[in-house]
A and B are shown apart, each in its own frame.
Chain A
Amino acid sequence: MVKKDLVLIGHGMVGQRFLEAFLAQDGAAWDWRVTVLAEEPRPAYDRVHLTSWFSGTSAEELSLCPASFIDEHGIDLRLGDPAVAVDRDRRTVTTRSGQLLPYDALVLATGSYPFVPPVPGHDARGCHVYRTIEDLAGIKEAAATARVGAVVGGGLLGLEAAGALRAMELETHVVEFAPRLMAIQVDDGGGAVLRRKIEELGVIVHTGAGTQAVDVDDDGAVRTMQLSDGTELAADLVVFSAGVRPRDQLARDCGLSVGERGGITVDERCRTSDPHIWAIGECAQAADGRVYGLVGPGYAMAEAAALDLTGGAGSFTGGDTSTKLKLLGVDVASFGDAHGTTHGALDVLYTDSRAGVYKKLVIGADGALLGGVLVGDADAYSVLRPLAASGAELPAPPEQLLLPASVGAPGAGALPDEAVVCSCHNVSKAAIRAAVGEQGCTSVPEVKKCTKAGTGCGSCVKLMTGIVEEELAASGVEVARGICEHFTRTRAELYEIIRAKGITSFSRVLDEHGTGEGCDLCKPVVASILASLGSTYVLDGEQAGLQDTNDHFLANLQRNGSYSVVPRIPGGEITPDGLITIGRIARDFGLYTKITGGQRIDMFGASVDQLPLIWQRLVDAGFESGHAYGKALRTVKSCVGQTWCRYGVQDSVALAIELELRYRGLRSPHKLKAAVSGCARECAEAQSKDFGVIATAEGWNLYVGGNGGMTPRHADLLAADLDRESLIRTIDRFLMFYIRTADRLERTAPWIERLEGGLDHLRSVVLDDSLGICDDLDELMARHVGTYQDEWATTLADPDRVRRFVSFVNAPGVPDPTVRFVSERDQIRPARPAEGGRTLAPALVAGPELEVRTR
């Protein structure tokens, strides 16, 4: 069969989505040969999060199109070779490099271009736009020598650009022609609150001011800017972000029908006036006569075109322009008829200028919710937007809908079935319910996989979680959020209670907030919380009864009832004498030894009675507990670093040791693993750790939330090029914030995935102190560092505590006769049931009874 030719012009977000949707159709890959013409030097990337490039997200991380996608589908992707002409009669496309490509179907996804007001000097050196990674690289380079930056345009992108300039320590101005910031999304009241918040960040805002001219110096570089209100700004860097215009020139040139105000006109199936040509995204004027500048409608058009091309029935008749975003740390959302243009519409308003919160609901004459504006607190967006879109009756008086969720605003239950929960993927509440009720999903990640809901911008995940939980509860699957039958609270809630009330005993927590006697789930949780808040000795008083056997004996239980012992070897650095000491102890007690993945040495086969004897020798030689038994910091692994390695750029070993000593003994919801690499070659595998540090020429990059094991996860870059002090401060806060908010046995990787607002939120909490808790976090860590004690030294110093280390209360010194070993590869191993084997020697005369050859 001869394949037909499909040519896609433009490889932006919408183009990529089109490819995904198109190739997901049965047979599409068989019937079509796909060629993609891209203007930029790299495949599709996430333009929505473009600004994060400034804070360290790499172009690779922003990429939406893995190389495997192109290879797997045999796509002919031509980077840096845009289309320059279309011959509709011959059905060919000419590229800039002069190639002629025939097509049976042509899809235009050329996007838009930044509008630059045609004022004098608009193209001078020092003037930039804000659209591509290359644009940002240019701005970054210019900012290095600039002093004052001016952003023309106070919309979403303009404010993001202003934030980036501010972060690069430029005096920053925003010039907005409209009387308020984000004029399209918010109203005057919301704009005022937003302006105050933006100004608090040190950005100087000029509203109601147009740009009249950009003046240049003798070298042709930007010097000043003249505003229509008479202001003269001494700016040496200008960023234009005054809106975008559809890129429809190619279509105009070949005579396709174009809307009056631009945009290639298409029908609801995204067909242009030529039956062989489709147009999608920002370059198209949709069937409802509008040009959408948002990615959600663009995706919907991509899907409609993909279906139409493969014989399906897709359509796009109009999209939701609701938006929710976090701008320089400020929540801003608008949805539906935000400006109350519907006839007879009335406002319900809630403002708290002190807290910087502004909320407005637009209510129709019939009492239905039409739209609204939220600034400073947009939590309610996830419920209000679908509620407005569905036109359903309000579940509560409108004023109640404006209250914070904790005061009783309605949750997921208030939504009608047809309400669209995920607008990126157009998933309704009914579809989510069906995924649970009919397809058997029992968790949010499963529902995400099944429906794609929540996998776009992610803003609906909280609402989705509510719906999934409600549906599970309704179908009889119990969704217990509490730790166990004794506590209806989550670990994070218990943490806050214990902290706020200053509780120091499990009995009091149980009496005041639980039922029954506790169990093996809640007791260690409470013990861990008490330890991380008080840094007291974990076997003190009642706490001794709460610990898992590992914490109780400060060693790791192995399958035959014996224990293993791991002394701390900070950073994996150990002297020959240290190695000899460990070797001698292992030999004298007849223990099996193995090097661990965390760069230390594990000694196996010890009986309870032997533990204090082994540890007395270790402590005497200067070793400390390695906390291998605890939900606590395990190791900070390191590569050898600059000191020895030819490639190292920083002393990774010294930093690893410093970090390991700082955080040793820190009790947390689960174990913590860390690493420091001395250069980008990453030999310490820091990106697979809960926190990992990689040296750069300028300082240290901090990665968080990595994991190996069963569900590996690459860590996310939290901050780049930190100096030592800021690095340690940031890790301090990250760890304490995790300890404070994570669930029981939740590693940092799933915690970050679950964290509402994700990495950006985490960043704003630990770097910008958006929750105002950093002083608390710092103080908790200072207390931990100040009160740390080696648990084994403390234990050995108290004869009463040492007395607990007996196999039998009525026969101290007698080892458990059922713990038996045989020899294998010159060491011991636990005997299997039929093997017999030998028991351990009595603890006091350790050694030679077991015939293990030593070398």
Chain B
Amino acid sequence: MTILHETRPTVATAVVEIEHDGRWKPVCGYADLLPGRGVAVLLGAEQVALFRDRAGLLYAVGNTDPFSGSAVISRGIMGSRGAAPVVASPMYKQAFDLRTGECLDEAATPDGSPARLGVWPVRVVS
């Protein structure tokens, strides 16, 4: 579901947009994002974790960690597991596939709900 920008933006003024309720909403400057790190975005009542990887690709997933219930996914460390780009929750360290939101360590949380983050389309506009 995640839409990646096609060319690497070079303009310092490039803006990142996330699609929410059928509309593209600008959330921050591309330059505000540190490679390999995430930030949290507040969209209405929803929280999104937005990441930029070393190569410049962007991912947007839900910010709430299903295992702890805390909104902390954006503060996790990015990396890769095999071919999958992942973020590790800073709370109990489960890894989530940034493309699908799926947890790669456990299928369900201890209370039985699926261990999965939502995913949002994200793009960069110059």
**Known A-B contacts A557-B90, A809-B41, A810-B27; A545 and B75 likewise in contact (beta carbons under 8 Å):** no
Q: Mark B31-69, 1 if CB is under 8 A from A, else 0.
A: 010111101111001010010011000000000100011
Query: Which of B36, B41, B77 is most buried by chain A, counting CB atoms within 10 A of its CB?
Result: B77
A519 located at the interface, meaning its Cβ lies under 8 Å from any Cβ of chain B in the complex: yes
In angstroms, how far is the closest chain B Cβ from the Cβ of A843? 14
Chain B residues contacting A517 (CB-CB under 8 Å) are 53-54, 78-80, 85
B47 to chain A, nearest CB (A): 7
**B117 adjacent to chain A (CB < 8 Å):** no
Q: Which one of B72, B81, B85 contacts A561 once the chains associate, using CB atoms below 8 Å?
A: B72
- State the majority secondary structure of interface residues on B: strand
* Interface hit among A8-16, A358-366, A546-554: A546-554
Q: Check A779 for interface membership: any CB of B closer than 8 A.
A: no
B42's closest neighbor in chain A, by CB? A808
Question: Judging by beta carbons under 8 Å apart, are A542 and B40 in contact?
Answer: no
- The answer for the CA separation of A560 and B69 in the assembled complex, in Å, is 8
Q: How large is the interface on A (under 10, 10 to 19, 20 to 34, 35 or more residues)?
A: 35 or more
Interface residues of chain A: helix, strand, loop or mixed (majority): loop
Q: Is A523 an interface residue, CB under 8 A from the partner?
A: yes
Decide: B39 and A809 in contact? CB cutoff 8 A.
yes
Q: How far is the CA of A811 from the CA of B45 in the complex (A)?
A: 12
* A245 CB, nearest partner CB in chain B, Å: 63
Q: Which of B42, B70, B72 has a CB less than 8 Å from the CB of A811?
A: B42
Interface presence of B88 (CB below 8 A):
yes
Q: Which of B78, B79, B81 has the most CB of A within 10 A?
A: B79
Q: Does A559 contact B (CB under 8 A)?
A: yes
A275 within 8 A of B: no
Shortest beta-carbon distance from A142 to chain B in Å: 61
The residue in chain B whose Cβ has the minimal distance to the Cβ of A557 is B90
A522 to chain B, nearest CB (A): 8
How far is B54's CA from A309's CA once the two chains are assembled, in angstroms? 72
Contact A814 B36, beta carbon cutoff 8 Å: no
Instruction: State A819–B64 Cα separation when bound (angstroms).
Output: 11
Q: Give the contacting residue for A545; candidates B27, B34, B71; CB below 8 A.
A: B34
Quick check: A809 and B28 within 8 Å, CB to CB? yes
Q: Give the chain B neighbours of A786 by CB distance below 8 A.
A: none
A542 and B79 within 8 A (CB): no
How far is A547 from B36 in the complex, measured between Cα atoms in Å? Answer: 10
**Is B91 on the interface with A (CB-CB < 8 A)?**
yes
Segment 514-570 of A: residues with Cβ below 8 Å from B: 516-520, 522-524, 542, 544-550, 552-553, 557, 559-561
A816 interfacial contact with B, CB 8 Å: yes
Given known contacts A808-B42, A811-B42, A818-B70, A519 and B81 CB-to-CB distance under 8 angstroms: yes
B79-A809 in contact (CB<8A): no
Whether A818 touches B64, Cβ cut-off 8 Å, given contacts A518-B79, A808-B42, is yes
Closest-by-CB residue of A relative to B39 is: A809
B contact set with A: CB distance below 8 Å: 27-28, 32, 34-37, 39-42, 45, 47, 50, 53-54, 64, 68-72, 75-82, 85-86, 88, 90-91, 93, 95
Known: A548-B77, A557-B91, A808-B40. 9 other contacts (CB 8 A): A517-B53, A520-B93, A544-B34, A545-B37, A807-B42, A808-B47, A809-B39, A810-B28, A833-B69
A interface vs B, CB < 8 Å?
485-486, 507, 516-520, 522-524, 542, 544-550, 552-553, 557, 559-561, 804, 806-811, 814, 816-819, 833
- Contact sample, A vs B, 15 pairs, CB 8 Å cutoff: A485-B82, A486-B79, A519-B79, A519-B81, A519-B88, A520-B77, A546-B36, A547-B77, A552-B75, A559-B70, A561-B72, A808-B41, A809-B27, A818-B70, A818-B71
